[in-house]
Every structure is written in structure tokens, then in C-alpha cells.
Chain A
Amino acid sequence: MKPALALSCGFPDGAMANLTSHPDAVGRITARDTYDLPALDLNAFGSLLVSMHIDQRFLASRAEQIAGFLHDGGTVIANGHLAYPFLPGITGFHPLENYGLGDLAVLRLIDHPIWAGVSENELTFRRGVAGFYGRAWHEPPQGATIVHALGNPDRPLDFIYRIGKGRVLFHGGNDLWQYGGADSAGRILPQLLNWMFSGESAS
């Protein structure tokens, strides 16, 4: 399996360091500066990891390169809110307005290996506080597998879809690799690595 490429944003990213130093990831994730992207041959990588902190305006200027990577079989794992169109397929972004506790509940619509054994409640709450996992929803393309929604099944939060031979995992909230803790959400990190490096179909 080709290594994954993590795009860095100029500052030390502790959450990404948790991912790259995980025993299942050591030596398998290469970090490069975001602005080096035009000079990189993405065919050398199996996955592209996009943090919530990235310059999306720049990424949107590289949308063609990213789409090409996907069509050729690459995996893109992207986090945050989509402000600029760097990913094919996603058509809309909606921050929750005047939200209440019920709006922030993470709802699992379908089981998926990345979140196997992860409690919805422990995604919704951290130390009793809701909202870390997501506070916005996006409109995925037709046929996407929607794993989690936010407060209402009509508000997709985590979804996976195919582009060409590749696949996109979009998480519309704080970076998935922040979830390395002691509760059941800590299962995300190794299970995400397994999904990323297994290259299985987008299910």
C-alpha cells in the first residue's frame, strides 16, 4: 500500500502527530507543506489527509489535481467545513443556526468499520459538553454512504462516496484524528488507519 500524504499548515499539529505516531501508522504517513502540493506527484500516495486548519482557498486552486488523484484511485479524508470547492461532489454547506442540545446529537444512520464500537453518545459529548464533533452539515452527492448525521437524519455529518476509482471520506467537524482518547471514540484512530490503508471499497 502506498503511503498517505498529510498536508501540513505551518504549525505543530498535535492531533496529526497522534495519528502519524500511532503504531499502525509509523512510516506510512508522509507530511508535506500544503503549498508544496503543485510540485507533488500524488500517484506516489494512496491517501490525502486534509485537516480542518488547511488553506482551502489554495486547495480549491488545486481542485483538478485532487479530482485527478481521486479518479485514479486515491482516497481523500477531509475535515472541517467546506468553504471553497476543493472536493468534487459536495454541493452545499450549512452551519447550524441557533442550535440547541438536540441539534448537536450525533446520529448513526449505518454501521461502518471506522466507527465500530464507538458510542454515538461519546461522539456527541466530551466531558458533558456537546458540539466538538460537529456543528454544521453538508450536502453529499447522490449515492453517498451517510454514516452520521447531526441532530436530524437530513443533516449529513460523516459520509463516504466514490469518485472514479477513488473515495472521499468527509467529516464536517473537528479533525477525526483528534479522537484518540480513552473512551470509545478512541477506537476511531486505529480503525481509520485500517480503513485508509486497506483500500477497500467505499462501503
Chain B
Amino acid sequence: MSLAVLDGGTYFHHAAIYGARYRDLFDRAIYAPEFAPEHLKGVKLLIVPDRINPDLLRARRQILIDFAERGGTLVVLGENQADTWLPGVKWTFRPTNFWWWLEKDARPEQRLVAPNHELFRAVPFADTIWHFHGVLKPPPHAQTLIDVPPDREGRDAGGALLYDDRVTTAGRLIVSTLDPFYHHGSNFMPATTKFLDGFLPWARRLATA
């Protein structure tokens, strides 16, 4: 069984997927505009990186849903408008504070909700902390891994930044608002590289176990 990743064709997807740092972890990279059911033969875990053109994902949503319904694990990262194509996803926009770490006595809002989840043996919580684009309301019985409290300005009730949903489909949906492919692939924000340094080998272990 193998690990596959969708490739949106941008320079940052190119750098993250085909760059020397991670390319050996992926068994298959699937160019999103050509994505078809046969690409998922033998695939156990498919990563949908952040910032794939959401029109392409909406047009191929049934392939993704069928994969999860067959027992596959789908990792869906941020800025993909997953709420428009993936079952169970409810997302609320929150204006991005890129500058939280410059504020006086800066403390990140993120909270580690499930410290015993297997992911955190591979990815230290500290490596999941950077700005975020909106919050998720996980389906009932999904496990929230990281969340944030309600917006200080009352624009949302808070919610998850990362959850693990083994309920909505026969497989597993790991859904996040985080956007590490974009920032790592843009040669910016070392936290996102540290995140992928732990996350991608973990995903590979899940895919090949």
C-alpha cells in the first residue's frame, strides 16, 4: 500500500513534492487536473495539499469520497474550500493575523486538545503553530486534535484547526486549516518545514503499515 499526493502544478507544490527534502516519501504524485480513479489503485493514504485549485477538487469530489468510503485515509489541508466538496466539513473564515508573534507577550491561541493522539509522537505541537485561515467545526464524534478559542472580536465561536474523523466515511478524514505546502514550498516560515518534517514521514508510516 502506498502514499500519494495531489500536485496542483504551482511552484510551491513543485518545491514541496519534487524537492529533495521529501520526494522519496511519496510513492505517487498525481497532477490534479488529470486526477482519475485509476491513480488511486493501491493507495492507502492520499494527501490533498493546501491551495489546490478548489474548482478541480469540486469537479473530482466523487473520486475523493469514493476513496474514503473504500477505507482510504484522506488528508485534506487548508485553503482548499473543503467545506464545498468534502462531507462533514464546516468551515468559518477568520481574518488572518500573520503578526500574532510580534504582539506584546505573544502567546499562540492554539490549544493541544488530544495530546495522546499518535500524530503528536511524530509532530511536536510547537511545530503546528503558525497563522491560520479560519476554523473548522468537526462532525459529532470526530476527534479534535488542535483548536482555538472563540475569536476575540466575536466573529466566530472558535473551532478546530485539525481533526481526525473516522465516522463520516468508512475510511478516515484528517482535515486541517493549516497550509504547510504553500509556506514550505515558498521557502518561507521554518515552522511549516518542521511540521512537514514530522507529518510526512508519519503519513508514510500510516500508508505503508
Q: Which residues of A contact B (CB under 8 A)?
A: 9-11, 33-35, 52-58, 80-84, 95-96, 127-129, 131, 135-136, 174
Contacts and interface: CB of A to CB of B under 8 A. Distances in A.
B10 interface: yes
Contact of A56 (B11, B55, B102): B11
A143 B12 CA distance: 28
Nearest to A97: B187
A11 B54 contact: yes
Contact of A83 (B15, B31, B32, B102): B15
A66 B56 CA distance: 23
B149 to A, nearest CB: 24
18 contacts: A10-B53, A10-B55, A11-B54, A11-B79, A52-B11, A52-B186, A55-B8, A55-B32, A55-B33, A55-B53, A57-B9, A58-B33, A80-B10, A81-B11, A81-B15, A82-B11, A83-B15, A127-B102
Q: Which 10 A-B pairs have the closest CB atoms?
A: A57-B9, A55-B9, A10-B53, A83-B14, A83-B11, A10-B55, A81-B11, A135-B187, A95-B187, A10-B54
Contacts of B187: 81, 95-96, 135-136
A53 B10 contact: yes
B55 to A, nearest CB: 4
B172 interface: no
A54 B11 CA distance: 8
Interface of B: 7-12, 14-15, 31-33, 51, 53-56, 79, 81, 99, 102, 186-188
A136 to B, nearest CB: 6
B179 to A, nearest CB: 12
B76 to A, nearest CB: 15
Contacts of A82: 11
A34 B187 CA distance: 24
A81 B8 CA distance: 15
Contacts of B7: 57
Given A10-B53, A11-B53, A56-B14, A81 B102 contact: no
Contacts of A54: 10
